[in-house]
């Protein structure tokens, strides 16, 4: 463990009110990481092989670390380098990915290996724009490969780094907006050591690991935090701030099941959104009791509860109502929830 460090406070900047000396912060965090970081199979310091960084980062995109470990180890045995992956038949690649889901990730990884083998003679590109141009590689993954494999000062701002940064600065504006995220990215960029100083890769991995092990979402372990003296958060568990989700407004929709001589009464909708589509006729009077069919569906910021009750044959049809013989119903254009309700009613009837 590093000895406690007395922060030297540099003059505040409105944009990055970091509490203390950034170099001391980096060294305290990196020392903690070298001592306490998890021994994950893709962490082979230093230097890290860009191919293994790419494989692990793509696997980690939608899958938890604990699940990825086995897949990663088997993958690296089967396809130890770019050439091996590039030469593999697609079936083998998909087979090795089986169980991880989101198969486009495996196809993209395969395509990236083929591209590197073909265009760069198998040598992983080091320029940021070339990494970003690889299939399936977005700004996060490109930043992760550049920093972990090539020690570039490109912070890969994932949910962990975002949370750590928001707390260190007590940043109390939403971070799930483009402006908030871009602010945090700028801050994480300002914290990077220069290329000459070196050490960006390990520093970024340490930031990420702090978020995974100590600065956790619900109950952060502040008393065990190696950089708590640099932290401004008063109520860390409330950070980062997310924009309030608009509450869904509940709506009731009551429709009638009106049947006569092997025909069902439907009505054509006139509203902007569903003009021309048919639905079970709306009941003008609200009904109570047990519906013949009930389901819910989302509609913009509403949650609609659709209930269908037995209706009575009207004396006159409105101009947008029509009788449809049962065998024609499947061909009638309808909105999905009304189609579902109608199918259920037809099934119950038969």
Beta strand residue intervals within 269-301, DSSP E = 278-279, 293-299
Q: Is 114 exposed, middle or buried (0-12, 13-18, 19+ CB in 10 A)?
A: middle
Q: Is 60 in the site for ligand ADE (CB under 6 A)?
A: yes
Catalytic residues: 57
CA 245 to chain centre: 16
Residue pair 253/305 in contact by the 8 Å Cβ criterion: yes
Query: Least separation, in Å, of the C-beta of 67 and ligand ADE?
Result: 12
Say whether residue 208 binds ligand ADE (CB under 6 A): yes
Binding-residue pattern over the window 272 to 311 for ligand ADE, x denoting contact by CB under 6 A: ----------------------------------------
Return the half-sphere exposure (C-beta side, CA atoms, 13 A cut-off) of residue 24.
Answer: 17
Which residue stretch of 57-65, 89-97, 170-178, 293-301 sits at the interface with ligand ADE (rule: CB under 6 A)? 57-65
Residue 57 makes contact with ligand ADE by CB under 6 A:
yes
At closest approach, how far in Å is the CB of 170 from ligand ADE?
25
Closest CB 62 distance from ligand ADE, rounded Å: 11
| Residue 84 interacts with ligand ADE (CB under 6 A): yes or no | no
Question: Would you call 18 exposed, middle or buried from its count of C-beta atoms within 10 A (0-12, 13-18, 19+)?
Answer: buried
Using an 8 Å Cβ cutoff, are 122 and 51 in contact? no
Half-sphere exposure of 227 (CA within 13 A, CB side): 33
Does 241 engage in binding with ligand ADE (CB under 6 A)? Answer: no
Does 151 contact ligand ADE by CB under 6 A?
A: no
Site for ligand ADE in 26-45 (CB under 6 A): 40
| Contacting residues toward ligand ADE, per CB under 6 A | 40, 57, 60, 65, 158, 208
């Amino acid at each position: 463990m590093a000895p406690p460090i007395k922060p030297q406070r540099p003059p505040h900047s409105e944009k990055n009110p970091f509490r203390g000396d950034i170099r001391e912060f980096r060294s305290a965090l990196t020392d903690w990481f070298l001592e306490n970081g998890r021994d994950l199979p893709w962490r082979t310091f230093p230097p890290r092989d860009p191919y293994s960084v790419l494989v692990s980062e793509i696997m980690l995109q939608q899958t938890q670390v604990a699940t990825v470990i086995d897949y990663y180890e088997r993958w690296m045995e089967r396809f130890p380098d770019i050439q091996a992956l590039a030469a593999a038949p697609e079936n083998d690649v998909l087979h090795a990915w089986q169980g991880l889901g989101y198969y486009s990730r495996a196809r993209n990884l395969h395509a990236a290996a083929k591209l590197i083998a073909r265009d760069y003679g198998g040598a992983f590109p080091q320029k940021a724009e070339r990494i970003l141009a690889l299939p399936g590689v977005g700004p996060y993954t490109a930043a992760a490969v550049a920093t972990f494999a090539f020690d570039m000062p490109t912070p890969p701002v994932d949910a962990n780094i975002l949370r750590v940064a928001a707390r260190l600065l007590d940043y109390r504006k939403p971070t799930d907006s483009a402006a908030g995220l871009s602010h945090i990215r700028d801050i994480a960029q300002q914290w990077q050591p220069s290329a000459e100083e070196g050490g960006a890769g390990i520093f970024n991995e340490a930031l990420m690991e702090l978020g995974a092990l100590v600065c956790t979402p619900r109950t952060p372990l502040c008393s065990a935090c190696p950089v708590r003296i640099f932290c401004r958060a008063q109520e860390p568990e409330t950070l980062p701030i997310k924009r309030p989700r608009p509450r869904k407004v509940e709506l009731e929709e009551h429709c009638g099941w009106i049947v006569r001589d092997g025909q069902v009464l439907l009505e054509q909708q006139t509203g902007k959104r569903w003009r021309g589509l048919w639905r079970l006729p709306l009941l003008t009077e609200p009904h109570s009791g047990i519906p013949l069919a009930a389901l819910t569906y989302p509609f913009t910021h509403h949650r609609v509860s659709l209930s269908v009750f037995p209706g009575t044959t009207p004396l006159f049809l409105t101009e947008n109502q029509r009788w449809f013989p049962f065998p024609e119903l499947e061909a009638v254009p309808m909105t999905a929830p009304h189609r579902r309700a109608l199918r259920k009613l037809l099934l119950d009837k038969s």
